[in-house]
Amino acid sequence: MSLRGEVCVVTGACGFLGERLVRLLLEEEKTAEIRLLDKRIQLQVLQSLEDCRGDTKLTPFEGDIQDADFLRKACRGASMVFHIAAIIDVTDSVEYSEIYGVNVKGTQLLLEACIQENVSTFIYTSTVEVMGPNPRGDPLIKGNEDTVYSSSLKFNYSKTKKDAEERTLQAHGEVLQSGGRLATCALRPMYIYGEGSHFLLGHMDDGIRNRDVLLRMSVKEALVNPVYVGNVAFAHLQAARSLIDPQKRNTVGGKFYFISDDTPPVSYSDFNHAVMSPLGFSIQEKLPVPLRFFYIFCFFLETLCMILRPFIRITPPLNRQLLTMLNTTFTFSYQKAKNDLGYVPRYSWEEARKCTTEWLASQLPMEREKIMSK
């Protein structure tokens, strides 16, 4: 199925994944209009899309996702929503009320706007972290949508994304004002990498400060399977095509899908090294201290911050749950997305690594200058 003639709303359109999806829609689909919804619309993003815009109308919508009237205006006359916008926080540095307001309340208001404005298709960008890992660090290898995994989510980010995902899937089949029905699905990508990743830049900056030696925060045995941003964007496109296909709508609607690709399973730290080693970075062979002492250190750090919280809010850069996430084997298959959505990774590991490394190389001089000037 083609999205020709569709009017699409993309939330978080100026972000890492959102911009990539908008570009893909412009390059591959003859959509009538794409509405770029973000808290702040970046002029450079709009300018960068001009080279592939064609006849598609690009309409910026700058506003708050917690503003119901703003969302209704953005959805009026649209036929499809890609909901990517979210607060990502793995250090619990954001107040719960703020992250809940954006991740949960914002999603609920957007679903209600779709029903009121007769938007029939809704694709939600979830995350693998709604699955875990659990605080015990139980490993999971090649999990799928039927895998049972005992998890007690600790991060507010994970909890709010799980809540928003459930609301999205429960909204499938809701009656629109026009009498039609809403079709929804959710995608759970692994850790997303590629051009524009602030996380990769942060790890590179740490390596620069450490004399071009990347910090090791995960043991080599803790395998995960990161996914390239271009493949995640393509999975969104395939989900949209499936939801507007009358033959697939009932199969896909109301379901979630794990999105990975053929990036080799590797630890988070060793993945950083895989994309940065061509730039001259090496990596610490072992954790700075044994893992058990890392946990003890984090426990005391968290306790100290809790004691100080009535007087001053300090967020430790590392906590026990983040340490668990970085050191737990947690891999998933994309087979169900392949079967139901027709998703097959658009980019190979070799292509994804090359593009990512070249982008990091383009950023390296600026990052060095920024760090050296401090």
What is the set of active-site residues? Answer: 157
Coil, helix or strand for 227?
strand
Please enumerate in sequence order all residues whose Cβ is within 8 A of that of 19, keeping only pairs 6 or more positions apart, or say none. Answer: 13, 45, 48, 49, 196
Q: How far, in Å, CA of 337 to CA of 145, rounded?
A: 10
Q: Could you tell me whether strands 140-143 and 330-332 are parallel, antiparallel, or unpaired per DSSP bridges?
A: parallel
DSSP per-residue codes, 111-156: HHHHHHHT--EEEEE--GGGT---TT---EEEE-TT--------SH
Structure-token pair, residue 374: 């401090």
Nearest CA among 337, 328, 322 for reference residue 261 = 337
Contact of 154 with 135, CB cutoff 8 Å: yes
Give CA torsion, residues 208, 272, 259, 242, to 10 deg. 50
How many CA atoms does the CB half-sphere of 32 hold within 13 Å? 7
Please enumerate in sequence order all residues whose Cβ is within 8 A of that of 320, keeping only pairs 6 or more positions apart, or say none. Answer: 135, 295, 298, 299, 302
Contact of 218 with 283, CB cutoff 8 Å: no
- The count of residues in the chain is 374
